[in-house]
A and B are shown apart, each in its own frame.
Chain A
Amino acid sequence: MKLLVIGEARDGELRNVTFEAVAAAKKIDSDAEIVGVLCGSDDLNESGQEVIYHGADRVVTVTHDNLESYTSEGYSQAVMAVIEDESPDGIVMGHTAIGKDLTPKLAAKLGTGLISDATDIENDGDKAVFTRPIYSGKAFEKKVMTSGLTFATIRPNNIPALERDASRSGDVTSKEVDVKDINTVIKDVIRKASEGVDLSEANVIVAGGRGVKSAEGFEPLYELADILGGAVGASRGACDAEYCDYSLQIGQTGKVVTPDLYIAVGISGAIQHLAGMSNSKVIVAINKDPEANIFNVADYGIVGDIFEVIPKLTEELKQTV
């Protein structure tokens, strides 16, 4: 079996989900030959080596000026050229902004199925079985491919990457592709996301709700998230009240997250919010209302004034972490 793993970089750095996708491919078939695919406008040799250190057997790179930024048109031309060369039995990619945008286009071109947003993969001896959340994590389903390629995207942060092993070796080869006819042009990018840590990949999330009361009220949450190397999220209530941007929203509309640690601050815990975060490993709730529904899913709760608790928590962590 030969499996293709489509990697992805952000600001020149390979995203961790690329390595998770390699591990996912191994779960589909532990004996498979795993071929990484990287697209970009600069030299990708070093990135290619990293993918090999994380478990790929070899890597094919496509470099072209038209691949500097992701566009579905550019990337699909590059990846399709590699698919035609390699005739893989399966393809794996991260379920990221790029993965979500690109993979349905590839699936349509190839006339295949696609299992999106898998959080686990097991091989039952015959074929790969993919577990994925439905209804924003209120339930899960197990899916299999019934015909054609095995094609899946995986949710970041769920399938652990393999340990980096710099003694591994493999070929990084480049493929010439004439990437052209880009009709959808990115004129500019406005950076709004919190620096560094992306919500969907964060190990720690500090999320605020209506109880945070204002945009300024989010400041202590950012400080806490900073200390913990985490990201800040929000409930719909906080977004609707314009305390923060909709891109931070966690819930049934918004992002579904599964960090190691989720700290819910001034969040009451509506069912729609719980759908987006209740599969987090450890949940801490801080709320002045002891009856708040969030305490029903929290591992640890503090009943108290968030404006008193959060700064104290940050101070204390500064001394211990």
Chain B
Amino acid sequence: MNIYVLLKRTFDTEEKIIVSDGRIEDESAEYIINPYDEYAVEEAIKQRDEHGGEVTVITVGDEESEKQLRTALAMGADKAVLINTEDDVEDGDQFTTAQILHAYFEDKEADLILGGNVAIDEASGQVGPRLAESLGINYVTTITALEIDSDTAKIDKDVEGDVEKIETSLPLLVTCQQGLNEPRYPSLPGIMKAKKKPLEELELDDLDLDEDDVEAKTETIDVFLPPEKEAGRVLEGEIDDQVKELISLLKDDAKVL
């Protein structure tokens, strides 16, 4: 099976966000594989081990993204592709990324494409469905189980807590939800092997794309932090009295009851 994983490099979830001049400072930040994309990498490896074939992880980013691709290779993916847009794309959006991926996938015969259901930074969840639509293949978002039998896929899809039992056919794009699997940590031999696994680097030119073809349809005009939350009141006294006081505060001061 020809399996691909769409992967994004994101800030570590531990990171505090610092904004200056309407932009997020990223100089000193630690980066990780977007946690939802980790489920995708894990699932891709599992499906390959069960059905054979090859797992290719692909990211649209800059040179720095190589680290996250190597981590995915160390987990067990076979090949990586870095589409480096550093020189060509200033401020891309989801349209941009989907167009680039579409150009990459146009001449590939993907049986299964996996991605996270959302990235924890921009959190739009658009790229997967956009790509599937442009490739004319089926897609299912927020999956929590995947079982493939030749051309048929049986899927559990999380719908706001309920589970839809879905049947569809390959080629297929899915986006992964928490609960799908438990992503493995790269092993030491895995890390050693990953250094030698193929990593192809492409630019827009190699995909026959111009900057105009991928020009964003949206623009970010400002970034700001929410007002700092001040620590409130810790109540005192007997628990019974605290409970009564809390209720009256919620009713009369906060007016939320």
A residues engaging B (CB < 8 A)? Answer: 72, 96-97, 100-101, 103-105, 107-109, 111-117, 129, 133-148, 183-194, 198-200, 204, 228, 245-249, 252-254, 256, 260-261, 271-272, 275, 278-279, 281-284, 290, 295-304, 308-309, 312-313, 316-317, 320-321
Bound CA–CA A40/B114 (angstroms)? 30
**Surface stretch bound by A, among B43-51, B69-77, B81-89, B220-228:** B220-228
Other 20 A-B pairs with CB < 8 A, given A104-B130, A113-B217, A313-B246:
A104-B129, A108-B129, A108-B133, A111-B95, A113-B93, A117-B123, A135-B120, A135-B121, A136-B120, A189-B163, A190-B162, A192-B161, A193-B160, A228-B257, A245-B161, A246-B179, A253-B178, A260-B256, A261-B254, A261-B256
Q: Does A199 contact B161, Cβ atoms closer than 8 Å? A: yes
Asked if B202 CB lies within 8 Å of chain A CBs, one says no
Nearest CB in chain A: distance from B35 CB, A = 5
B residues engaging A (CB < 8 A)? Answer: 11, 13-17, 19, 24, 35-36, 93-95, 98, 120-134, 138-142, 144, 158-169, 177-179, 216-226, 229, 231-235, 239-240, 242-244, 246-247, 249-251, 254, 256-257
Q: Does A298 contact B246, Cβ atoms closer than 8 Å? A: no
Contacts of B233 in A (CB 8 A): 299-301
Q: Which of B17, B36, B224, B231 contacts A253 (CB 8 A)?
A: B36
Secondary structure class of chain A's binding surface, majority of residues: mixed
Bound CA–CA A101/B159 (angstroms)? 10
Q: Does B162 contact A298, Cβ atoms closer than 8 Å? A: no
Q: Does A108 contact B98, Cβ atoms closer than 8 Å? A: yes
Q: Does B243 contact A100, Cβ atoms closer than 8 Å? A: no
Nearest CB in chain A: distance from B15 CB, A = 8
Contacts of A313 in B (CB 8 A): 243, 246-247
Q: Does A97 contact B159, Cβ atoms closer than 8 Å? A: yes
B244 and chain A: residue at smallest CB distance: A316
| Interchain Cβ contacts under 8 Å between A and B, 16 examples | A104-B127, A105-B139, A107-B126, A108-B134, A115-B218, A138-B16, A145-B217, A184-B138, A189-B164, A200-B160, A245-B161, A261-B256, A302-B234, A302-B235, A304-B239, A320-B247
Bound CA–CA A247/B164 (angstroms)? 13
Q: Does B219 contact A146, Cβ atoms closer than 8 Å? A: yes
Q: Does A247 contact B160, Cβ atoms closer than 8 Å? A: yes
Contacts of A96 in B (CB 8 A): 160
B34 and chain A: residue at smallest CB distance: A253
Q: Which of A111, A188, A246 contacts B178 (CB 8 A)?
A: A246
Contacts A108-B133, A117-B123; A321 near B16 (Cβ below 8 A): no
Bound CA–CA A228/B207 (angstroms)? 56
Nearest CB in chain B: distance from A140 CB, A = 6
Q: Does A140 contact B226, Cβ atoms closer than 8 Å? A: yes
Q: Does A312 contact B129, Cβ atoms closer than 8 Å? A: no
Contacts of A103 in B (CB 8 A): 126
A152 and chain B: residue at smallest CB distance: B218
Q: Does B126 contact A114, Cβ atoms closer than 8 Å? A: yes
Contacts of A129 in B (CB 8 A): 221
Q: Does B223 contact A141, Cβ atoms closer than 8 Å? A: yes
Q: Does A139 contact B162, Cβ atoms closer than 8 Å? A: no
Bound CA–CA A103/B124 (angstroms)? 11
Would you list the 6 A-B pairs with minimal beta carbon distance, nearest first?
Answer: A113-B217, A193-B161, A247-B161, A104-B129, A299-B232, A108-B133
Nearest CB in chain B: distance from A251 CB, A = 8
Q: Which of A145, A187, A249 contacts B167 (CB 8 A)?
A: A187
Bound CA–CA A193/B167 (angstroms)? 22
Bound CA–CA A304/B222 (angstroms)? 42
Q: Does A101 contact B234, Cβ atoms closer than 8 Å? A: no
Q: Does B13 contact A271, Cβ atoms closer than 8 Å? A: yes
Q: Does B94 contact A104, Cβ atoms closer than 8 Å? A: yes
Q: Does A141 contact B222, Cβ atoms closer than 8 Å? A: yes
Q: Does A133 contact B123, Cβ atoms closer than 8 Å? A: yes
Q: Does A249 contact B178, Cβ atoms closer than 8 Å? A: yes
Q: Does B217 contact A261, Cβ atoms closer than 8 Å? A: no
Contacts of A193 in B (CB 8 A): 160-162
Q: Does A295 contact B234, Cβ atoms closer than 8 Å? A: yes
Contacts of B179 in A (CB 8 A): 245-247
Contacts of B223 in A (CB 8 A): 134, 139-142
Q: Does A104 contact B133, Cβ atoms closer than 8 Å? A: yes
Bound CA–CA A143/B16 (angstroms)? 22
